[in-house]
Structure 1
Amino acid sequence: MKWLVSLVGAGLVLLTLRDLFHTLWHPTRHGGLSRLVMTAMWRLAQRFRGRRRVVGLVGPLAMVTVVGMWAFTVVLGWAVIYWPHMPGAFAFSPGSEAAREAALLDSVYLSLVTVATLGLGDIAPGEGWLRVVSPLEALVGFALLTATVSWVLEIYPALTRRRVLAVRLALLRQAAPTPQQIDSTSGALLLDSLATEVVRVRIDFTQYAEAYYFHDGEDHSSLAAMVGYAEALARRGQTAQRPEVRLAGDLLTGALADLAVILDQRFLHTGGTPTEVFAAYAADHGRGGAEP
């Protein structure tokens, strides 16, 4: 029975490590529990009256919640591993009151101290296998801390790339380029560079799916609001006279279609055309529609 309980704890730890791996290190970032938590918080925030202000906090709060969930389940899992073998398989420092406490409380305390790599030493594993398992928890705690810092450092550059593209599209719309300006060598270069930026954002949504749950704020920095104008530019490029401009228009159209596929498969599930997906994307981020 003791080993069955310990196996349940080991299962909790492995489940957490699997979720952490798929969220942070898997090439396609198909997180399980973390994605469910983020999606639930996003949908819940959309029900509030002050929707824009609340939704703006979802991304950072969701990341904190997910990291807290990982830490909680790791601590709980290792505590369940220790619990059936407490106190007999452990050594207590002289004068320690820990041995008089409940076994579960001591197990949680030891797990917290170990995962935080504090190493207080008032409770130490006595049996051989526990002397191997306990340092492994410290390694997992260190990995969790490192992964959390890396996650934060990775997500914000991805958000910056998305907002840079949105601001660039807003400036282009404000400049209102003429058909003659689009149908030129500089127009072809413009459309080609926009296609490259769209591809980068598409990859960011693949590798950092949690970026979707960050609200971009003002309209001019919101890709959800500005992606419709990118579609309009692509159509103008496709109908141009110059072949290089038509090619660049086709590239931008293809990049936008690919972005729409990722958004629809991972977040929106409309099954519609790219224009319909972008409209759903705009609506999901509190915009009336993707602006043309």
Structure 2
Amino acid sequence: MGWWIAVLGVLVVLLALRDIFHTLWHPTRRGGVSRLVMAALWRVSRWVGGKRVAGVVGPLGMLAVVSMWGLLLVVGWALVYLARMPDGFAFDPGLRPEDRSNVLDSFYLSIVAVGTLGYGDVVPVDGWLRVVSPLQALVGFVLLTAVVSWVLGSYPALGRRKALARRLAILHEVDSEAPQPPVVWGASTLESLASEVIRARVDFGQYPETYYFFDDDAGQALPLWAPYAYRMACRMRSEGEGEVRPAAAVLERALADLARTLDLHFLHTEGSPEVVFDRYREEHARR
């Protein structure tokens, strides 16, 4: 019976490691369980409504994902230890194994190991356990450093997205204040915007959790300005002259590519870029 408990623990650990790998290191950056957690919190925030709730979904979602990884690792290794508790372990002379709870000691040892604390009052004596316990400490250390890198990478991606949105908001203000005929952006402006849009598209692929960050500043909210940018790119591609027309075509393609990425991973409308961007705006709208 003890071996079945150990096998179950190994499966739980493998589930956690697979999700960590796919979220943090796999080229697609698509963890299964972590993605479900973030999406579930986002849906709850839409149901509850309000900017204050939406504003904490992204950070809270990342915290929930990291907590889930830690919990799975603790539970998985605790089950492995439970299969050999107490016979496979040596206890400090002040501890009486017969007076202790095998379940609590298994979880205690697992928490100590994953936190790389190493108190030493309960130590494995079985040969394979003497390998498993340090391995858990190594995984805990790797998880800590990986999570720090994850957070430090996500927030610069958010900054780039806000900068793009702010630039589009300023261009909209200039367009609104200009007399007729409609303003035509220069080729250099279109090309630089295309570069920023491409960077935003890559950021959504590398840091998909940033989709669930809500910005209550309208001037920095890309969902609000992406539809406007696409309409302007389409108009300038058809009405522009000289270098403006090919530059506008590049921006239009970049925005269409961004729309495909959003639709494939988050929105699932299977519609045109206009439909996707309108849905993107609705998804991030809050009272």
Length-normalised TM-score, structure 2 = 0.95
Do the aligned partners of 1:28 and 1:206 also contact (CA within 8 Å) in 2?
A: yes
- Which deviates more, 252-261 or 225-234? 225-234
Matched with 1:14 is 14
Do the aligned partners of 1:13 and 1:73 also contact (CA within 8 Å) in 2?
A: yes
Q: Cα–Cα, structure 1 residues 98 and 41, in superposed 2: closer, same or farther, change >3 Å?
A: farther
Matched with 1:78 is 77
Matched with 2:134 is 135
**1:233 Cα shift?**
2.2
Larger relative contact order (CA 8 Å, sep ≥ 6) = 2
Do the aligned partners of 2:20 and 2:69 also contact (CA within 8 Å) in 1?
A: yes
Unaligned runs of 5+ in 2: none
- Which deviates more, 98-107 or 112-121? 98-107
Aligned residue for 1:47, secondary structure, equals helix
**Aligned counterparts of 1:39 and 1:95: Cα–Cα separation in 2:** 48
**Aligned counterparts of 1:232 and 1:265: Cα–Cα separation in 2:** 21
Aligned residue for 1:46, secondary structure, equals helix
**Aligned counterparts of 2:21 and 2:35: Cα–Cα separation in 1:** 13
- Amino acid of the structure 2 residue aligned with 1:182: V
Matched with 1:96 is 95
Do the aligned partners of 1:158 and 1:208 also contact (CA within 8 Å) in 2?
A: yes
**1:100 Cα shift?**
2.0
Q: What RMSD over aligned residues (CA atoms) do the two structures have, in Å?
A: 1.6
Matched with 2:47 is 47
Deviation string, structure 1 residues 25-65 (Cα, Å, up to 9, x no partner): 1111111000000000000111114x221011100000000
**Aligned counterparts of 1:37 and 1:24: Cα–Cα separation in 2:** 15
Alignment of 1:150-161 (within 5 A): 150-161=149-160
Do the aligned partners of 1:191 and 1:233 also contact (CA within 8 Å) in 2?
A: no
Matched with 2:121 is 122
Deviation string, structure 1 residues 119-166 (Cα, Å, up to 9, x no partner): 100000001111011100000110111111111101000000100000
**1:232 Cα shift?**
2.5
Do the aligned partners of 2:194 and 2:250 also contact (CA within 8 Å) in 1?
A: yes
Aligned residue for 1:216, secondary structure, equals coil
Alignment of 1:223-262 (within 5 A): 223-262=222-261
Aligned residue for 2:48, secondary structure, equals coil
Aligned residue for 1:85, secondary structure, equals coil
**Aligned counterparts of 2:166 and 2:145: Cα–Cα separation in 1:** 33
Which residue, 181, 184, 187 being the options, matches 1:182?
184
Matched with 2:61 is 62
Do the aligned partners of 2:115 and 2:137 also contact (CA within 8 Å) in 1?
A: yes
Do the aligned partners of 2:5 and 2:83 also contact (CA within 8 Å) in 1?
A: yes
How many aligned positions are there?
284
Unaligned runs of 5+ in 1: none
- Amino acid of the structure 2 residue aligned with 1:59: G
- Which deviates more, 37-46 or 239-248? 239-248
